[in-house]
Structure formats: structure tokens, C-alpha cells
Structure 1
Amino acid sequence: MSEPARNDARFARPPYLSGVELVSVEYSERTFPEHSHAEWVVGAIMTGCEALTVGSKTYEVQTGQVLRLHPDQPHANRTTGGEILRYRVAYIPDEAIRPYIAERLNAPRFDSPVLAGDRSHSIVAGAHALLCRDEAGRLEQESALADLAGVLFADQVKQSSDDTRVSSDAVARARSYIDAHFADGFGLGTLTTVSGISVFHLVRSFRKAVGISPLAYRNQCRIVAARRLLLAGQPIAEVALDVGYADQSHLTRQFQRIVGVSPARYANR
């Protein structure tokens, strides 16, 4: 039995990413004539299939694949097949994404608007879901944008010594700042000011030196502090606020992800 017809689109606008717009769509029968967007476009097909025409070529973008378009790139698209098309797409102004890409990529263009691969799809879908959450803070949102930029320009940025160089002093400054301010609402912009290098190089250098992203390191610092406070007998709700989470439920989700048990179980063991 076929699914009921659906034609729905929902929008989200992350408060810390000016001009960025997230759209979640469900279409059963929909055709868009040739048009373009002023922004960079990157999206993940969750179910169904879309025929995407760019120039003289038509691509079948299927479940598990990623689509990407550069600003002002003319294209047309329509649903195909009997399954409802569900996709999650981000529209990113050029000025918003520039800090997250290599300086030498002045006017990048894609060989293909379609990317296959579970990892790329998982990154786009995960970043989109995070950016649609009301509780996502500045560092979460900016880190998600960095992830989207990595997928958009994955085949443009070759792993050269310039891209992967590690500035040990810069990373040390960023790491020390996180150690001292993990409970605060800072973003990647603050870390670039502290470290003295660009967002693009900070994200890559930090991961190369520390082994995890600045966001993951900050979350780790928060959980280490939470464990100490819980064992000292401090109430969970107070611990959540002290280490930087909006409320107890946010602490619980992160705590379970990293420690494997809830804060309540950990405190009572």
C-alpha cells in the first residue's frame, strides 16, 4: 500500500548562524521548475528519490545520498518513484561559510552535485538535526556548520601540509580556554580569537593534536566536572547549571552518551 500524499515543508533558523536556514520536506508529487538559490545548498535524502537537473544533465538523488549546489547555480528538481521524498537541506550564505573553508578556495565549484557515502550522509543529517534543536548553543551550532562545510568541500580540500599543519601553541591556547570556560556559552569565533588562527585551521589542528573536536573536548570537560560534583552530593539539577547545561535533561543526555549511565545512577553507585 502506498503512503498518503504529503507536501509539507518545515523551516528552522539557528539563532547563532546569521542567514542560515534549515528546511525539512516531505513531498509525494512535487515539481520545481528551473531556479537557483543565493546560498550554498547541502542536503541529505532520507527516503525516496529526486530527479535533479543541473545544466544538461539529470541526476537521480537517492536515499542515503547528499546533494550540493553552489550559489546561483540553476537547477530543476522533481520527485520520482512511489515513495515519499523526505530530505533535510541547509541553505548557507557565502559570508556565513567563508570562515569554515580554506582561504585558497576563492570560487569553488563541484564536479557533481551528488555525493554518495554513508559518512557524508550521516554528517549532513546529524548537523541538520542538531541545528533544528532549540537547545543547541553557539559552539554546537558553529561546529555543525563546520561539519557541513567539510562535506560541501570534501573533494576540494586536499590534505596538504598547509591544511593539516598543527600550531601547538594555538591549540594549547584554545584548549586552556576551554578548560577554564567550559561552562560558558562561547563559540568557535572566541576560540579563534584566543588561538590566533582561523576557524578552518583551528578545527583541523585541534582534532589532529587532541584527537577530538573542540566541541567534543568541551563536552568531555563538562562531564568530568559533573562527575566530580555528583560524587560530592550536589543535586543533579544544580550540577547541570554549574557545568553549562540549560537544565537537567540536557545534562542527562550528554552524561549517558559519554559515561553510559544516567547521572542519578552514577551518583548512587
Structure 2
Amino acid sequence: MSANRLLARPWLPGVELFHADFSGQAFGRHSHDAFAIGAILHGVGGYQCRGARHAIPAGKLSLMNPEEPHTGHAESERLVYRMLYIEEARLPVLLGRKVLPRGFRELNPADDGAVAAGLARLAAEFERNDALALESELLAVLELVFVRHGGLRAAVPASRDGGVTARLRDYLETHYTEAIGLEQLAALVQRHPRHLIDAFRRAYGVPPHTYLLQRRVREAKRRLLQGEPLLDVALALGFYDQAHFSGTFKRFTGVTPGHFRRSAGMPA
């Protein structure tokens, strides 16, 4: 039995997210032309690499360097994990560093859950059509895992860069209904995406993609109170579908759009 899914986006080359859910499947000896960053969600994974057999229970990470030969199989009846594949050639652009990671020394280190949580958020964004949120979560995962496990030095916090962040905020306020990508914003203000996110967070307390969602929710309230249908509001404000709109609305307000409208004495 297999329910595997491999997720990719054409505008994000060199990046794939594999959601594995299988029983009895095995992968013969092979290698990847990318770093592999994974977290076991259920069961026990196993593989042979570097002359040894490894068993990885839930709660541990699975880290692999490019071109590192290994096998893969389930040690348990069912195995569920998420694995991010990122081509090495993409790291200079994505990380914006002069000194890049040396690679992973330990194949399956224990983790405090931060990397696994980041992969979960990244997987959720792959399901939506929100380039800004997806690229922001990707940078956060890469920074986290390579600083903790890949020998990358922690970045120096960005300054608030007031003129740049104010310009970016004004752009988001004006273009909040549009599909916006992180590289698009970085080109607009001539800053690296990582610097842009750090500086914006220091200036306004949240990263750009969160600010954008907050702006959309604020406009959604206004439109809902004017009686616009929920689906029309969702699509007009750039949400993937009504479920995405409802989940985001509840995240910021504590209630669903329908509940919000009913509380105002209007039909949901």
C-alpha cells in the first residue's frame, strides 16, 4: 500500500517535497543530486549508508548530503515521513550567504521538533497557491536545519532598514489581492529575501507573508459585512479556495467567516 506524493512548483526550481506514506515499499541503492531533509512522522524508517544500517524512529530527523549512496525501507508495518529535497546549486541564491553549509555530519540527529514543524508548515504551503508564504517557509526551514545540523553560522540579525520596510509595507497594502512572490518583493526593494524577511519582522513584528494575510483578512471583514458571498470574497482576495480562506480567517480572528457574519446579524 502506498499513498506517496511528490510536490513541486515550476516557479521554484530545484525544490521538491516528498510526502511518503507506505507499507512494504523499498528503495534500492541510489543517491540524490540534492540535500535531503526529512522528519519521521509515524513508524520507523531504515536505510543503509556509510557502511552501516540505520533505523530512524518518529521524532528523529533524516539528513542526507548530495550524491550520498543509500537504500531505503520501512522498519515498521507503516512508515510516514516528509522529505525536502533542495539542489545544492540553489543554496547560494536561497540562503544569500558567502560561506555555505559544509554538509550534514550526522545522518539522523535528534531534533526538538522545530525542523519537523517547519516541514509541516512547508507541506501545507505546497498545497496552496501562495508563493510568498511557501518561499518564506522554505527559507526558514533551510536556515534552521543548516545552522543546527549543517555547520552554517547563525545570521547576524538584519537592521530595521526603515525606508525599505516602509516601502515594502506600502506595496503590500496596495497589492494585497495579487499573487506575490518573495523574489518579486526582494527585487522591488533590492534586498536579499532573507534580509527582507528579517528586517520586516523587526520593523513590524511579523514577516511579510503574515502581514499580507492580515491585510486580506481585514478587507475580508469589510466585504463580508457588505454581504458578498464567502467564495467570492475568498477568490477576490487571493485565497486558494474557501477552505484556505476560512482557515486563515479563523487563525487571525478566532472565528470562521460564517460565524463572523452571523454574529453581525447577517445570514452566513
What's the TM-score once normalised by structure 2's chain length? 0.85
**Does 1:149 find its partner at 2:149?**
no
Query: For 2:212, which of 195, 218, 240 is the aligned residue?
Result: 218
Give the letter aligned to residue 145 of structure 2. Answer: L
> Which stretches in structure 1 are left out of the alignment for 5+ residues?
1-5
Query: For 2:66, which of 71, 76, 79 is the aligned residue?
Result: 71
> Which stretches in structure 2 are left out of the alignment for 5+ residues?
264-268
Give deviations 1:69-111, integer Å, cap 9, x for gaps. Answer: 222223333332x341111212222344433214123353123
The match for 2:168 is 174
Q: Cα distance, 1:220 vs. partner?
A: 0.6
**Does 1:44 find its partner at 2:39?**
yes
Query: For 2:130, which of 137, 157, 165 is the aligned residue?
Result: 137
| Count of aligned positions | 260
Give deviations 1:180-215, integer Å, cap 9, x for gaps. Answer: 111110110111012221012112222233222211
Q: Which range moves more in the overlay, 35-44 or 10-19? A: 10-19
Query: For 2:226, which of 220, 227, 232 is the aligned residue?
Result: 232
- Contact 1:170/1:195 (8 A) holds in 2: yes
Question: What is the CA–CA distance in structure 1 between the aligned matches of 2:28 and 2:241, rounded to whole Å?
Answer: 46
Trace 1:21-170 onto structure 2 (pairs within 5 A).
21-80=16-75, 82-115=76-109, 116-131=111-126, 133=127, 135-155=128-148, 156-161=151-156, 163-170=157-164
- Contact 1:21/1:92 (8 A) holds in 2: yes
SS for the counterpart of 1:114 is coil
Question: What is the CA–CA distance in structure 2 between the aligned matches of 1:100 and 1:241, rounded to whole Å?
Answer: 30
Give the letter aligned to residue 236 of structure 2. Answer: D
Give the letter aligned to residue 45 of structure 1. Answer: I
Q: Which range moves more in the overlay, 92-101 or 65-74? A: 92-101
**Does 1:262 find its partner at 2:256?**
yes
Trace 1:202-213 onto structure 2 (pairs within 5 A).
202-213=196-207
Question: What is the CA–CA distance in structure 2 between the aligned matches of 1:231 and 1:180, rounded to whole Å?
Answer: 21
Structural RMSD (CA)? 2.4
- Contact 1:43/1:66 (8 A) holds in 2: yes
Q: Cα distance, 1:57 vs. partner?
A: 4.8
- Contact 1:124/1:147 (8 A) holds in 2: no
Give deviations 1:154-190, integer Å, cap 9, x for gaps. Answer: 32443453x5444232222222211111111011011
What's the TM-score once normalised by structure 1's chain length? 0.84
Question: What is the CA–CA distance in structure 1 between the aligned matches of 2:155 and 2:17, rounded to whole Å?
Answer: 32
Give the letter aligned to residue 142 of structure 1. Answer: E
- Contact 2:186/2:192 (8 A) holds in 1: yes
Give deviations 1:200-256, integer Å, cap 9, x for gaps. Answer: 211222223322221111101100111122223333333223322244333222112
SS for the counterpart of 2:62 is strand
- Contact 2:92/2:100 (8 A) holds in 1: no
**Does 1:191 find its partner at 2:166?**
no
Cα distance, 1:259–1:41 mapped onto 2, change above 3 Å:
same
Question: What is the CA–CA distance in structure 1 between the aligned matches of 2:243 and 2:16, rounded to whole Å?
Answer: 26
Question: What is the CA–CA distance in structure 2 between the aligned matches of 1:62 and 1:44, rounded to whole Å?
Answer: 9
Question: What is the CA–CA distance in structure 2 between the aligned matches of 1:232 and 1:12, rounded to whole Å?
Answer: 38
